[in-house]
Amino acid sequence: MSKNKNNRLGVLLGAAFLMATSSIGPGFLTQTTVFTEQLLENFGFVILAATIIDIGAQLNIWRIIGVTGLRGQEIANKVLPGLGVFISILIVIGGLAFNIGNIAGAGLGLQVLLGISPETGALISAAIAISIFLSKQAGQLMDKFTQIMGALMVLLTIYVAFASNPPFAEAVIRTVAPTKIDVNAILTIVGGTVGGYITFSGGHRLLDAGIQGEENVKEITQSAVTGIGISTIMRVVLFLAALGVITAGHTLNPDNPAASVFQLAAGDFGYRIFGLVMWSAAVSSVIGAAYTSVSFLSSFGDFFVEHRNKIIMAFIVISATAFFTIGQPAQVLVIVGTLNGLILPIILGAMLLSLRKKELFGAYKHPLWLAIFGWIVFALTAYMSIITIINFFN
């Protein structure tokens, strides 16, 4: 009984860390550092606002997926036939494109850490990610790996945050009483935390482990909140690390601002820490993107269910091959990023509309306050998507 309870706890934590580490990729590190440099202590308010919005999206999506026992694309198809197929295509294309960047980030991390070439580092990282899905216990290995990587990133960044000696008191004050509010920064951070495949990584993992149904709503909710908490803690400690360096009068290297923070705060040792944090963030994002993207293919036939691990490995191989042959196609990433921004409001709207279909939920009553919260988040993320598209074509 105790073993089953421990296994269940491992899955719940694994789902939380899978979502968190999927969001904490190379872009997460760069965005946080750049916005801290621009907004200083006021970036604390951005983190607070983005976290509240994240909660509104994640709690709705995780609970609806968990109660219905259906994946995001399956629910979308129930609301509007064909919508789930459209979303799945966007998710897979976006996940594949962004995984090229994740592979590159993993290679750069090992270059800093071990002094090897980025290409060699990328090859090693892809091999490690693939090895997890060679096992019959791939789900459990993925849970453990993402937990270790997530804990490692947070602990190492906490060390750097204290080494940088940030103005804690001022940061706390400006988090609740900012002198400047940057809406674009809030929307960007939200997109990086719950955009694309990220929102569904944890919920789909719970379904694969058989944790679903109204009787498990409490645990599903706790897992979602834990995942948001982990990514928020990482964002906060990185913000504090960058703030300490910047307020001390240092100038960050625009080519790699996140690496500058670690190096300026803790010298060469800090630079090595950055390499380890970058690698941990990137390789865990490689795993999260591959696993979740392929989970959106399950509705296309039994083949994708029966050969899921092989398809996940192929997904990683294709991402790595693209990196080795064409590098990081910046224009493709921009286009896919624009498409990815559309996914959250579309699928969140579909999820919330699905609440009207009583046959999907049985006796379950979704909290009214949570549904209203979800529609507010829908409006905000739809606005974000429109602004992103306008900026892209201007």
Question: Above 70 in pLDDT, residue 338?
Answer: no
| pLDDT greater at residue 1 or residue 72 | 72
Q: 269 near 287, Cβ under 8 Å? A: no
Phi, psi of 347 (to 5 degrees): -75, -30
Which residue, among 237, 241, 281, 280, has the nearest Cα to 257 in the 3D structure? 241
Which residue type occupies 310? K
pLDDT tens track for 174-194: 999 989 888 778 877 887 777
| pLDDT greater at residue 329 or residue 117 | 117
Q: 188 near 47, Cβ under 8 Å? A: no
Q: 106 near 269, Cβ under 8 Å? A: no
Q: What DSSP string describes 222-233? A: HHHHHHHHHHHH
Element (DSSP H or E) covering residue 88: helix 83-114
Question: Above 70 in pLDDT, residue 47?
Answer: yes
> What span, in angstroms and rounded, lies between the C-alpha atoms of 34 and 50?
16
The pLDDT score that the predictor gives to residue 11 is: 82
Q: Which residue is listed with tokens 């129930």?
A: 78
Mean pLDDT value of segment 375-389: 81
Element (DSSP H or E) covering residue 285: helix 257-295
> CA angle 227-194-100, nearest 5°?
105
Six token digits for residue 368: 């009214």
The pLDDT score that the predictor gives to residue 2 is: 55
Q: Which residue is listed with tokens 């910047």?
A: 246
The pLDDT score that the predictor gives to residue 126 is: 93
> Residue 29 in 3-state DSSP?
helix
Question: Above 90 in pLDDT, residue 214?
Answer: no
Question: Above 70 in pLDDT, residue 79?
Answer: yes
Q: 290 near 319, Cβ under 8 Å? A: yes
| pLDDT greater at residue 138 or residue 392 | 138
CA pseudo-torsion sign 216, 218, 219, 223 = positive
The pLDDT score that the predictor gives to residue 1 is: 46
Task: For the chain, list the domains and their CATH numbers.
Answer: 2-393 (1.20.1740.10)
Q: 291 near 39, Cβ under 8 Å? A: no
